Amino acid sequence: MTQAFVYQLTGQAILEAQPDLDSITAPGSNEILVETLVTAISPGTELAAWSGVEPLRPVAQIYPRLMGYCNVGRIIHLGANVNGFALNDLVLTHSAHRSHALISSAQVLCKVPQEADLAQVATTYLFHLGYSACLKAGVTMGHRVAVIGLGTLGLTASALAHLAGAQVTGFSNHFYGDIDPVLWGMSGTSGKTNPDSVHLNYFDCVISTTNSWPDWKLALQLSRRGGTVVTIGFPGRGQKIPDFNPLASQYFYDKQLTITSCGHVPNVDVAPFDIRFTLNRNCEFLMQAIIDGSLPAVDLIEDIRPAADLGQIYVDLITQRKSGRTFVLDWQKGKI
């Protein structure tokens, strides 16, 4: 237990594994102690932090900074008043890249079946971001959906829009030969720089997963009159001032667009009658879809690497990325 540690970004491109004895203190009455088995990298979020891009929210200090939020672990200790969980239960949580996590039982996103492929289950929340975009836009059968950017979240958003019954077109200037658009629910693909004219003013929903201003302009151009633009990415983050008006009247006003963020989902334990789509129910649904094979989580994983490789993986993703996929970290040295 004295080997417990947590990865923290202590400066731009400086990742340190630091002792984390606080995480293995005896749980409080409503807490559980979880031993990490696998974590999945969220490339956009983590590489932005690694590269020194400004934080998404105002913070008193940028560093030190925890990295990651896709964690599957095993409960190894329970507080006296914890109900609904048992020792050795597997759980999905938002814990960072760390060997152990001491959390409230309410922070568990969902239980994980013992027989599940844990590496695939670790990607559940990466699919949830795409799911959240589809829910926010009301994507359903018959809709035409454009997904701009085919990195990890672009792929997951495409898969979820397809699962909802939409016709999906992916837009990217980087098409990787071993990524099968059909597997990810896309009926077609197009470059971002010179999109087919037939696609302009065409889509009911545009899901934007990137930060660049040219991609934002493309989103406005692709949307039909009365359409919806959902932002998973963060237009303008780390970018220079654009050479166009991001809310130009010819798009925003004349088209009567709805432009919305996504990501926040109620994290409350209430009946579906009160709130149907809660964070826990969503994660349970998506995890089961991964287990059933309805979502291609196995193809989202570039490789499974030892947790000790995290810093090198960041470097590799920036300098020689081979696809829009992500990596999963093995915290048990092959015992997962």
> Per-residue pLDDT averaged across 312-331, rounded?
94
154 with 250, same domain: the answer is yes
**Single-letter amino acid code for the residue at 161:** A
Of 261, 285, 313, the domain-final residue: 261
Classify residue 287: in a domain, yes or no: no
Residue 334 binned pLDDT confidence (cut-offs 50, 70, 90):
low
Segment 164-196, tens digit of pLDDT: 999 999 999 987 778 899 999 999 999 999 888
Q: Does position 21 have pLDDT exceeding 80, yes or no?
A: yes
**7 φ/ψ angles, rounded to the nearest 5 degrees:** -85, 130
Quickly count: other Cβ atoms within 10 Å of residue 93's Cβ.
22
Residue 139 to residue 14: CA distance in whole angstroms = 40
**Single-letter amino acid code for the residue at 252:** F
Classify residue 290: in a domain, yes or no: no
232 with 310, same domain: the answer is no
- 118 sits in which H/E element: helix 118-121
CATH number of 64's domain: 3.90.180.10
98 with 170, same domain: the answer is no
227 with 249, same domain: the answer is yes
Classify residue 313: in a domain, yes or no: yes
132 with 253, same domain: the answer is yes
Q: Which of 17-21, 36-40, 123-127 has the lowest mean pLDDT?
A: 17-21
Could you list the beta-strand ranges (E) of 153-297: 167-171, 186-190, 203-208, 223-231, 258-261
Sign of CA dihedral 276, 279, 280, 286: positive
Of 243, 261, 279, the domain-final residue: 261
107 with 132, same domain: the answer is no
- Total domain count for the chain? 2
Classify residue 274: in a domain, yes or no: no
Classify residue 275: in a domain, yes or no: no
Q: From the DSSP assignment, how many helices (H) and strands (E) are in the chain?
A: 8, 16
Q: What does the pLDDT read at residue 56? A: 85
Q: Does position 1 have pLDDT exceeding 50, yes or no?
A: no
The SS3 call for residue 307 is: helix
Residue 187 to residue 171: CA distance in whole angstroms = 12
Give yes or no for a contact between 30 and 120, defined as CB atoms under 8 angstroms apart.
no
Classify residue 291: in a domain, yes or no: no
Segment 210-255, tens digit of pLDDT: 999 999 999 999 999 999 999 999 999 999 999 999 999 999 999 9
Classify residue 131: in a domain, yes or no: yes
58 with 150, same domain: the answer is no
Classify residue 158: in a domain, yes or no: yes
Range of the domain at 165: 125-261
> Per-residue pLDDT averaged across 271-299, rounded?
97
Segment 131-157, tens digit of pLDDT: 999 999 999 999 999 999 999 999 999
158 with 244, same domain: the answer is yes
Q: What does the pLDDT read at residue 47? A: 96
Beta bridge partners of 36: 73
146 with 211, same domain: the answer is yes
- Non-local (6+) Cβ contacts of 275 within 8 A are 266, 268
Q: What does the pLDDT read at residue 2? A: 52
Give the chain's mean pLDDT.
Answer: 94
193 with 97, same domain: the answer is no
Give yes or no for a contact between 91 and 111, defined as CB atoms under 8 angstroms apart.
yes
pTM over 0.85: yes
CATH number of 244's domain: 3.40.50.720
215 with 227, same domain: the answer is yes
Residue 94 to residue 125: CA distance in whole angstroms = 9
134 with 46, same domain: the answer is no
